[in-house]
Amino acid sequence: MASRRGKGDKPQMIHCEYCGEDYSSTYKHCPFCDEVEQQDYDDQGDYEEAAPRPRGGKRLVTNTRGGGYGGSPSPLRIVGIVISLALIIAAAIIVISIIMPLVSKGHAQPGSSVPPESSAPVTQESETPGPEDSAPPAEQSPETTIPAGQTATGFTLDQKEFSFSDRYPDPITVHVTFTPAGSAGTVTWSSSDSSIVSVDANGVVSHGTTRGSATITASMPGAEDQTILVYNQVTSGTSSGGGSASAGGSTATGTLSLNKTDFTFSALSNPSVQMKVNGTSSTPTWSIGNTAVATISADGVVKPVGSGSTTITCTVDGQTLTCIVRCSF
């Protein structure tokens, strides 16, 4: 048995007689073999005392209590090392495949611009137009060529529809307003039937020798044509298609006429007007051009509706008679 140190003694080294190791006196027993006597059995099963172990035998194998002197790593430690390596590799892959492209893009964005090769064709097209850009439009023709002295782009007329009658036989001048204001232009006048109404180069319209209606057209290069519907109801010196006419609106025997050829409503409250056909006992058919201005019943009663002018048409015995209705309120 190894000797023990006193309470106040300093630690001493003790030599274990069982395993041959030296240990500090601070241990109660040998930390290498716990001072257990080594025993063995012979071939016959009898007990015999084992020889002492060689000096340093157990310390050379391992010393886990004193921090260890080496040995193979445990399986748990191997697994931990493998997992750590896997995490490091995964982190490196994330940095290379995701973070690096974002960082590179962020550095390139402030200085980025449209590549020269993509902007060069656009600049070339805008600075050096081809022959097709300088050619005049294909739709332009000599008919739409604007005269040198014309500055107007459009025009309007002060008349859209009017009539001549025995009461109003005087010529009417149509006035032109050019647009834009203060511009100038030349208007050309024409009549669809000069035997009914005619027009001169200044826009003066006169009735002809034949009763009926005709269209006056005003034209200017580069602008839309304007038209006027004109009725000629003058009986003096005109022909209505049968018999001779006399002054005062009376007709010879065998001709038809209306009791009114042109009249005006000055207010919406004006009494209605009864239309009649002279020279026949047949029942006429009545119609009116614009019911927003006036209306006419099947028996020829005319009533005002709104401001403007329109035409009453009467069909009887194969003839057509007309009358102008004006509402000036």
- Residue-range domain boundaries for the chain: 1-65, 149-252, 256-329
What residues form DSSP beta bridges with 179? 154
Residues 197-230 as b/e (b if ≥16 CB within 10 A, e otherwise) read bbbeeebebbbbebbbbbebebebbebeebebbb
Q: What is the model's pLDDT at position 151?
A: 93
**Rounded to an integer, what distance in angstroms lies between the CA atom of residue 173 and that of residue 54?**
148
Per the CB < 8 A criterion, the answer to whether 255 and 243 are in contact is: yes
Q: What is the model's pLDDT at position 102?
A: 76
Contacting residues for 179 by C-beta, under 8 A, at least 6 apart: 152, 153, 154, 155, 156
Residue 100, token pair as written in the block:
């690096």
Least confident of 109-118, 146-155, 163-172, 237-246: 237-246
Pairing state between β 154-157 and 161-164: unpaired
Just give the CATH number of 256-329: 2.60.40.1080
Residue 318, by phi and psi: left (phi above 0), alpha (psi -120 to 50) or beta? left
Asked if CATH classification 2.60.40.1080 holds for the domain at 149-252, the reply, yes or no, is yes
Q: What is the pLDDT of residues 137-181, one digit of tens each?
A: 545 444 578 888 899 999 999 999 999 988 888 899 999 999 999
Q: Given pLDDT bands bounded at 50, 70 and 90, which one contains residue 46?
A: low
What pTM was computed for the model? Answer: 0.35
pLDDT at 10 over 50: yes
Look up residue 97 and give its DSSP letter. I
Q: Do domains 149-252 and 256-329 have the same CATH topology?
A: yes
Q: What is the pLDDT of residues 194-216, one digit of tens each?
A: 899 999 988 999 998 898 999 99
